[in-house]
Amino acid sequence: MHRLLARCLLGGLCLLAGPAPAQSAPPAAWLLQPAAVFDGQALHPGWAVLVEGSRIKAVGPAAQLSAPAGAQVLPLPGLTLLPGLIEGHSHLLLHPYNETSWDDQVLRESQALRVARATEHARRTLQAGFTTARDLGTEGADYADVGLKQAIEQGIIPGPRLLIATRALVATGCYGPKLSPEVAVPQGAQEVSGVDEIIRAVREQVGRGADVVKVYADYRLSAGGPAVPTFSQDELSVLVATARGLGRPVVAHASTPEGMRRATLAGVETIEHGDQGTAEVFRLMKQRGVALCPTVAAGDAILQYRGWRKGQDAEPERISQKKASVAAAHKAGVSLVVGGDVGVFPHGDNVRELELLVREYGLTPLEVLRGATSGNARLLHLPDRGQVQPGLLADLVAVPGDPTQDVGALRRVQWVMKGGVVIKGLRD
C-alpha cells in the first residue's frame, strides 16, 4: 500500500481517488430573449440578441434569430437588454468624503489600503451595470490605477474596463492637501511649472500607462477661496500638443469661464464640471467640438455632507448656478459626457448622476440613456461598445421595464454580461 501511495503522489495521479469530476464548458453562444432591446439609440420590443464568444453576433426580431448548436437560450421576461453603461468620470481610489475627508485619504490612508478598497469599488461598479469607466486620477495614489486596470484585464478581480489618467497634472502650489506654509506634504496630483516640466510629466504619465491626460485648468488657491485659472494659454496648448503627439486625449478640470476658455482653445476633448460656464464659453466649446461632463451628483453630495438638508433647506447658490450652467450648455448644443465624479459618493451608486440629470436638470430619460451608452462611447473613442450591434463587445445589461421612460429602472440591474461572460445572473 505504501508503495502504491508513493507511486500515486510521484506521478501526480492517484488511482485511489477515482476520476476527477467533469468540468462543464461555458456555452459557445448565448441567445438572449428579453422583452425589448435598447440598442444605444432606440427601444425595440420583441428583439433578441445572439452572442458568440466575446462579441455580439446578431440582433433583431426574435422570430428571425435561432440558437446555433451548443448555444444557451436565456429568456429575460419583462426585462430590457441594453449596452453596458459607461461611467464618464470616476475615482476608484477615493471613497465618500463623509466617511473620510479627501485630505485624510491622501495623507493618512496607505496605498495598500486604498488599492484594497478600490478592488471592492470596481466590483460594485460592474455589478451596477457599468461595464466601462473613465477613471480620472488616483488623487495621491500615484500609478495605482495602472495595476488596478491590469488586475481587471487579467481576470484577477472583477471590474469594468478602465480608461485611466494616473496622477493628473496641477500647477505648482495650486492643489492640495495644504497644511501650514512651512510644511510640504504629498499632493493629490503631479505638480508642474513651465513648458519643460509639462512636457516631461505628460510623457512620464503616458509612459507609465495613462490612457488619457488630465489637467486642472483652474483651482482654488486656498480652502473656501474662489477658483482661478492656474495655467497660461501657452502652457495648456503645449500640454495638449504633447499628449496628442503621443496619441492621448486631454481632459480638463475647469469651473471658471476663463479656465474653460483656455482649455477649450488649447484643444482639450472634455471639460469636467464647468460649474460657472457661460453662454459665451459654451458657444466656443460647441464650435471647437469640446464636450462637457457636468458631474452634478458630486456637488450635490458634497453640499449635503456640509449640512444642506435637501428637500428642507433652500437650494444652495452652487446648485442653482450648476443648473444654469447645464441649461446653457444644453441650449448651445454642447455634447454631454455622462459621469458623476463617483468616489465623492459611493461606488455602485453611479446611476445617481443619471437620475439627477433627469429629475432636477431637465434632461429626458432617453437623453441620459443614450449619453451613458452610445454617447459616451463616441465621445471617449470607444467604437467597440456602447451599442447593441453585430461585431461589438458583448457588454450587456438587463433592467426591468422601460429605461427610456423611467431612469429609475437603471438602478434595478438584474443581469450583467461583460465580454460574453455572465457577471451577474438573475438570481444574484
Q: Tell me the pLDDT tens digit for each residue of 281-318.
A: 999 999 999 999 999 999 999 999 999 999 999 999 99
Q: Report DSSP letters for 46-62, one per residue.
A: TEEEEEETTEEEEEEEG
The pLDDT of residue 361 is 98
Predicted TM-score of the model (pTM):
0.93
127 in Cβ contact with 347 (< 8 Å): no
The pLDDT of residue 25 is 62
Q: Shortest CA distance to 243 belongs to which of 260, 272, 219, 263?
A: 263
The pLDDT of residue 225 is 84
The pLDDT of residue 16 is 35
The pLDDT of residue 235 is 98
128 in Cβ contact with 351 (< 8 Å): yes
Domain boundaries along the sequence of the chain: 29-84+388-424, 85-379
Q: What distance in Å separates the CA atoms of residue 218 and residue 144, rounded to the nearest whole number?
A: 25
CATH number of 29-84+388-424: 2.30.40.10
38 in Cβ contact with 386 (< 8 Å): no
Q: Taking all residues of the chain, what is their mean pLDDT, rounded to a whole number?
A: 94
Q: Read off the pLDDT of each residue in 34-42 and give the average, rounded to a whole number.
A: 98
Q: What is the pLDDT of residues 378-403, one digit of tens each?
A: 999 999 999 999 999 999 999 999 99
Query: At the fourth CATH level, which superfamily is domain 85-379?
Result: Metal-dependent hydrolases (3.20.20.140)
What residue type is assigned to position 346 of the chain?
P
Q: What distance in Å separates the CA atoms of residue 124 and residue 182, rounded to the nearest whole number?
A: 41
The pLDDT of residue 426 is 85
Q: Shortest CA distance to 296 belongs to which of 258, 339, 264?
A: 339
Cβ atoms within 10 Å, residue 5: 11
**Which DSSP symbol is given to 21?**
P
Instruction: Inform me whether the pLDDT recorded for 141 exceeds 60.
Output: yes
Q: Percent of the chain having pLDDT more than 70?
A: 94
The pLDDT of residue 22 is 44
- Hey, what's the cell of 29? 453562444
Interstrand relation of 71-83 and 29-38 (parallel, antiparallel or unpaired): parallel
Instruction: Inform me whether the pLDDT recorded for 6 exceeds 90.
Output: no
How many distinct helices (H) and strands (E) make up the chain? 13, 19
Instruction: Inform me whether the pLDDT recorded for 44 exceeds 70.
Output: yes
